Chain A
Amino acid sequence: MSTTTGTPPGVGRDDLERLTEHWEEPRSLRAWFTTVDHKKIGRRYLVTAGFFFALAGLGALTMRTQLARPEAEVLSPQEYNQLFTMHGTAMIFLFATPMLFGFGNFLVPLMIGSRDMAFPRLNAFGYWVFLFAGLFMWASLPFGAAPNNGWFAYAPLNDVRNNPGLHMDVYALGLLFLGISTTAGAINFIVTALKLRAPGMSLNRVPLFVWAIVATAFMVIFALPALNTDNALLFLDRRFGAHFFDPSHGGNVLLWQHLFWIFGHPDVYIIVMPALGIVSAVLPAFTRRGVVGYPLIVLAIVAISIISFGVWVHHMFATGLPQLSYSFFSAASTIITIPSGIQIFAWLATMLLGRLVLRAPLLFVIGFIVTFVLGGFTGAMFALTAFDQQVTDSYFVVAHFHYVLVGGAVFPILAGIYYWLPKMTGRMYHEGLARWAFWLFFTGMHVTFFPMHLYGLFGMPRRVYTYRGDLGWNGWNLVSTIGAYLLAVSLLLVLIGVVHAVRRGRPAPADPWDGDSLEWSTASPPEPYNFPVIPQVHSLHPAWDERTVESTSSGATEDRILSHGRRTLFTSELDARPERAVRMPEPTFKPLVLAGALLVFFVAMLLAWYPVAVAAVAAVAATVAAWLWPTRRPDEELGVAS
Chain B
Amino acid sequence: MKTTVETRSRSARRQRRPRAVLPLLSGLLLLAGCSGDSPSALNPAGTGAARINGLWWLLFWISVVVFVEVMALLAWALVFRRGAARVRHGQPLRFVTIAGAAIPFVILVAVYGVGLRDLAALGAGPGRDALTVEVTGHKWWWEVRYPDASGATANEIHIPVGERVKVRLRTADVLHSFWVPQLMPKTDLIAGETRETWLEARKAGSYRGQCAEYCGTQHAHMAFLVVAQSRAEFDAWLARLDAPARAPRTDAERRGQQAFVQGTCAACHSIRGTGAQGRVGPDLSNVGSRWSIGAGAVPNDAGHLGGWIANSQTVKPGNAMPPQPVDAARLPDLIAYLRSLE
A residues with a Cβ closer than 8 A to B are 76-78, 81, 149-150, 154-157, 162-163, 247-248, 252-254, 287-289, 292-293, 296, 318-320, 323, 326-327, 330-331, 334-335, 337-338, 341-346, 348-349, 351-358, 366, 369-370, 373-374, 377-378, 380-381, 383-387, 389-394, 446, 450-451, 455, 457-459, 461-468, 470-476, 478-479
How many whole Å from B52's CB to the nearest CB in chain A? 4
A-B contact pairs, 17 of them (CB 8 A): A149-B214, A247-B192, A247-B193, A248-B192, A318-B177, A335-B108, A338-B105, A338-B108, A377-B66, A378-B63, A384-B112, A386-B52, A393-B214, A458-B39, A458-B41, A459-B182, A473-B38
How many whole Å from A484's CB to the nearest CB in chain B? 15
B52 and A387 contact, CB distance less than 8 A:
yes
If the complex has contacts A157-B215, A345-B99, A384-B55, are A320 and B190 also in contact, measured as CB distance less than 8 A? yes
Closest chain A residue to B207, Cβ basis: A459
Q: Which of B76-114 contact A (CB under 8 A)?
A: 76-78, 81-93, 95-97, 99-101, 104-105, 108-109, 111-112, 114
CA–CA, A346 and B217, complex, Å? 47
Query: Is B195 in contact with chain A by the CB < 8 A criterion?
Result: yes
Q: For B83, list chain A residues within 8 Å (CB).
A: 355-357
B115 and A384 contact, CB distance less than 8 A:
yes
CA–CA, A612 and B187, complex, Å? 46
Query: Is B151 in contact with chain A by the CB < 8 A criterion?
Result: no
How many whole Å from A421's CB to the nearest CB in chain B? 23
Selected interface stretch from B118-126, B156-164, B266-274? B118-126
Residue-wise, chain B 19-30 has the 8 Å CB interface mask toward A (1 for contact) of 000001000100
Query: Is B305 in contact with chain A by the CB < 8 A criterion?
Result: no
A330 and B116 contact, CB distance less than 8 A:
yes
If the complex has contacts A349-B92, A355-B87, A387-B56, are A458 and B42 also in contact, measured as CB distance less than 8 A? yes
Q: For B118, list chain A residues within 8 Å (CB).
A: 384, 386-387
Q: For A334, list chain B residues within 8 Å (CB).
A: 108-109, 111-112
B59 and A381 contact, CB distance less than 8 A:
yes
Q: For B175, list chain A residues within 8 Å (CB).
A: 154-157, 253
Q: Which of B28-75 contact A (CB under 8 A)?
A: 28, 31-42, 49, 51-52, 55-56, 59, 63, 66-67, 70-71, 73-74
Q: Which 5 A-B pairs have the closest CB atoms?
A: A247-B192, A475-B32, A472-B36, A384-B115, A345-B100
Query: Is B211 in contact with chain A by the CB < 8 A criterion?
Result: yes
CA–CA, A354 and B85, complex, Å? 10
- Contact partner of A78 (CB less than 8 A), chosen from B76, B181, B212, B217, is B217
How many whole Å from B339's CB to the nearest CB in chain A? 22
- Given contact pairs A374-B67, A386-B122, A386-B185, enumerate 15 new A-B contacts (beta carbons under 8 Å): A77-B218, A318-B177, A326-B119, A334-B108, A355-B83, A384-B118, A386-B118, A387-B115, A390-B49, A393-B177, A393-B214, A394-B212, A458-B38, A459-B181, A467-B220
A393 and B213 contact, CB distance less than 8 A:
yes
Closest chain A residue to B195, Cβ basis: A320
CA–CA, A642 and B20, complex, Å? 73
How many whole Å from A551's CB to the nearest CB in chain B? 23
B188 and A320 contact, CB distance less than 8 A:
yes
| Contact count A vs B, C-beta below 8 Å | 297
Q: For B212, list chain A residues within 8 Å (CB).
A: 318, 392-394, 461-462
Q: Which of B209-228 contact A (CB under 8 A)?
A: 210-220
Query: Is B296 in contact with chain A by the CB < 8 A criterion?
Result: yes
Closest chain B residue to A76, Cβ basis: B317
CA–CA, A311 and B297, complex, Å? 37
Query: Is B179 in contact with chain A by the CB < 8 A criterion?
Result: yes
Q: For A355, list chain B residues within 8 Å (CB).
A: 81-87
B188 and A319 contact, CB distance less than 8 A:
yes
B187 and A459 contact, CB distance less than 8 A:
no
- Contact partner of A77 (CB less than 8 A), chosen from B34, B96, B181, B220, is B220
CA–CA, A329 and B123, complex, Å? 17
CA–CA, A387 and B122, complex, Å? 11
A345 and B66 contact, CB distance less than 8 A:
no
Q: Which of B151-204 contact A (CB under 8 A)?
A: 173-175, 177, 179, 181-182, 185-188, 190-193, 195-196
A345 and B89 contact, CB distance less than 8 A:
no
Closest chain B residue to A317, Cβ basis: B186
B185 and A389 contact, CB distance less than 8 A:
yes
Query: Is B208 in contact with chain A by the CB < 8 A criterion?
Result: yes
Query: Is B1 in contact with chain A by the CB < 8 A criterion?
Result: yes
CA–CA, A443 and B341, complex, Å? 53
Q: For B86, list chain A residues within 8 Å (CB).
A: 355
- Contact partner of A343 (CB less than 8 A), chosen from B35, B41, B100, B179, is B100
Q: For A289, list chain B residues within 8 Å (CB).
A: 87-89
A253 and B108 contact, CB distance less than 8 A:
no
B191 and A156 contact, CB distance less than 8 A:
yes
CA–CA, A478 and B33, complex, Å? 11
Q: For A467, list chain B residues within 8 Å (CB).
A: 220
CA–CA, A373 and B190, complex, Å? 34
Query: Is B275 in contact with chain A by the CB < 8 A criterion?
Result: no
- Contact partner of B187 (CB less than 8 A), chosen from A253, A318, A343, A470, is A318
If the complex has contacts A387-B52, A390-B186, A459-B181, are A354 and B87 also in contact, measured as CB distance less than 8 A? yes
- Contact partner of B87 (CB less than 8 A), chosen from A155, A288, A472, is A288
Q: For B181, list chain A residues within 8 Å (CB).
A: 390, 394, 457-459
- Contact partner of B70 (CB less than 8 A), chosen from A320, A344, A455, is A344
- Contact partner of A369 (CB less than 8 A), chosen from B32, B70, B139, is B70
B193 and A342 contact, CB distance less than 8 A:
no
Query: Is B307 in contact with chain A by the CB < 8 A criterion?
Result: no
Query: Is B323 in contact with chain A by the CB < 8 A criterion?
Result: no
CA–CA, A383 and B215, complex, Å? 25
How many whole Å from B135's CB to the nearest CB in chain A? 14
A345 and B211 contact, CB distance less than 8 A:
no
Query: Is B318 in contact with chain A by the CB < 8 A criterion?
Result: yes
Closest chain B residue to A350, Cβ basis: B77
B31 and A479 contact, CB distance less than 8 A:
yes
If the complex has contacts A157-B175, A373-B67, A476-B32, are A327 and B96 also in contact, measured as CB distance less than 8 A? no
- Contact partner of A479 (CB less than 8 A), chosen from B32, B81, B211, is B32
CA–CA, A348 and B192, complex, Å? 51
B115 and A479 contact, CB distance less than 8 A:
no
B41 and A459 contact, CB distance less than 8 A:
yes
If the complex has contacts A78-B217, A353-B88, are A385 and B119 also in contact, measured as CB distance less than 8 A? yes
How many whole Å from A356's CB to the nearest CB in chain B? 5
CA–CA, A447 and B190, complex, Å? 36
How many whole Å from A205's CB to the nearest CB in chain B? 16
Closest chain A residue to B318, Cβ basis: A77
Q: For B101, list chain A residues within 8 Å (CB).
A: 338, 341-342
Closest chain A residue to B292, Cβ basis: A468
Q: For B49, list chain A residues within 8 Å (CB).
A: 390
If the complex has contacts A344-B100, A463-B214, are A353 and B119 also in contact, measured as CB distance less than 8 A? no
Q: For A351, list chain B residues within 8 Å (CB).
A: 74, 77, 81
B36 and A474 contact, CB distance less than 8 A:
yes
Q: For A253, list chain B residues within 8 Å (CB).
A: 175, 190-192
Q: For A331, list chain B residues within 8 Å (CB).
A: 112
Q: For A470, list chain B residues within 8 Å (CB).
A: 36-37
CA–CA, A156 and B76, complex, Å? 53
B41 and A252 contact, CB distance less than 8 A:
no
Q: For B104, list chain A residues within 8 Å (CB).
A: 337-338, 341
How many whole Å from A44's CB to the nearest CB in chain B? 34
CA–CA, A468 and B318, complex, Å? 18
B96 and A458 contact, CB distance less than 8 A:
no
B41 and A390 contact, CB distance less than 8 A:
yes
Q: For B195, list chain A residues within 8 Å (CB).
A: 320
CA–CA, A287 and B84, complex, Å? 10
Closest chain B residue to A339, Cβ basis: B101
How many whole Å from B254's CB to the nearest CB in chain A? 35
CA–CA, A474 and B196, complex, Å? 33
Q: For A352, list chain B residues within 8 Å (CB).
A: 73, 76-77, 81
Q: From A149, A293, A457, name the one whose CB has the most chain B CB atoms within 10 angstroms.
A: A457
- Contact partner of B38 (CB less than 8 A), chosen from A78, A472, A479, is A472
- Contact partner of B77 (CB less than 8 A), chosen from A150, A154, A356, is A356
Q: For A156, list chain B residues within 8 Å (CB).
A: 173-175, 191
